[in-house]
Amino acid sequence: MSSEDVLNPKHMPHDPEKATLEGKNKFIGFWFFLGGETVLFASLFGTYLALNGSTQGENTPEHLFGLELVFIMTMLLLTSSLTSVYAMYHMKNQDFKKMQIWLGITVVLGLGFLGMEIYEFYHYIHHYEFTFRSSAFGSAFYTLVGFHGGHVLFGLCWIVSLMLRNQKRGLNLYNAPKFYIASLYWHFIDVVWVFIFTVVYLMGKVG
Amino acid sequence: MADNTHSKPVHHREFEKKQHREEMKQQVLTFALMILFTLIAFGMVIMEVNSYFIIPTLIILAVVQVAFQLYYFMHMKNKGHDMVALMMYGGAAVALLTIITFTSIIWW
């Protein structure tokens, strides 16, 4: 039996993402990476919490932030997390087309989120002259939220390239782990965002 | 290589599909709860609930929501996630220490 046949069985196993050794390694290695990402973001959160009182002029968290935009962004990202769950549901049922459709919806929602974040930054810079260099609060804010936005951008590129690359291949044991891990990354982005909207925006408004 | 992946009985596959549907139902329920927690958190801040407990409550809501995300959306509740739990709890412990250090010693 050639490796091509092994990777394309007639009936997919129950967990196509962990059916091969490579899949298992990707799975465990990726969670190791997520543990490290947790610490990385913690250092940015710690910096923000320590420096968000070092403001300049009127540009304080309470004065700057608008909750309407943040609420819509939260809903977009949370919904995109559910749509990627749907994508993995169809992956397990070996329905490649439906998986691609749900991943596509995830990407659209993620793009919406990213667009709104860019608008938010633009708004702060042009209407409040609140930049990376304005104050320690500014530096900490843009580093933390911008780093998360960078993760969103990377996740979008990742999912889109997986979708395009495997469009004609269909689902097999070679690419199932890849899709699964990209969806884990997408969920982790939402995990970080939950703490950002709580710590930065909501707690910033409470003062 | 065993041939067992080629001859999976139809009823077994039906059983697996049913299992997947059950899991999906739980995940949709989880999503509804996460939306609810988000609404409560935003609602408390918008209505200016002026209480000593508002910040701890916000943090607890966030932690519960993240736990839902990890255990249901990212499948940490399923079998074979022991190493995963070790890494995430290890990461969370170091994360907590990092935040305490940054806010109490480095930039106070």
Looking at CA atoms only, how far is residue B80 from chain A in angstroms?
A: 10
Mean model confidence pLDDT for chain B: 89
A151 vs B51 pLDDT, higher one? A151
CB of A18 within 8 Å of any CB in chain B?
A: yes
pLDDT at B3: 46
Looking at CA atoms only, how far is residue B5 from chain A in angstroms?
A: 6
In a domain, A8, yes or no: no
What confidence tens digit (pLDDT) does each residue in B77-103 have?
998 899 999 999 999 999 999 999 999
Per the structure, the complete domain to which residue A31 belongs is given by: 17-206
In a domain, A37, yes or no: yes
A130 burial (CB, 10 Å; 0-12 / 13-18 / 19+) is buried
Can you list the alpha helix ranges (DSSP code H) found in B1-108? 10-46, 54-68, 82-101
CATH number of domain containing A138: 1.20.120.80
- On the question of pLDDT at B10 being above 80, the answer is no
Do residues A179 and B18 make contact, with C-beta atoms less than 8 angstroms apart? no
CA dihedral (A85, A70, A191, A53) in degrees, to 10, reads 180
Confidence of residue B1 (pLDDT cuts 50, 70, 90): very low
Number of domains, chain A: 1
What confidence tens digit (pLDDT) does each residue in A120-133 have?
999 999 999 999 99
pLDDT at B2: 46
In a domain, A123, yes or no: yes
In a domain, A12, yes or no: no
Distance separating alpha carbons of residues B46 and B41, to the nearest angstrom: 9
Q: Cβ A194–B106 below 8 Å, yes or no? A: no
Distance separating alpha carbons of residues A56 and A58, to the nearest angstrom: 6
pLDDT over 70, % of chain A: 100
Distance separating alpha carbons of residues A2 and A168, to the nearest angstrom: 21
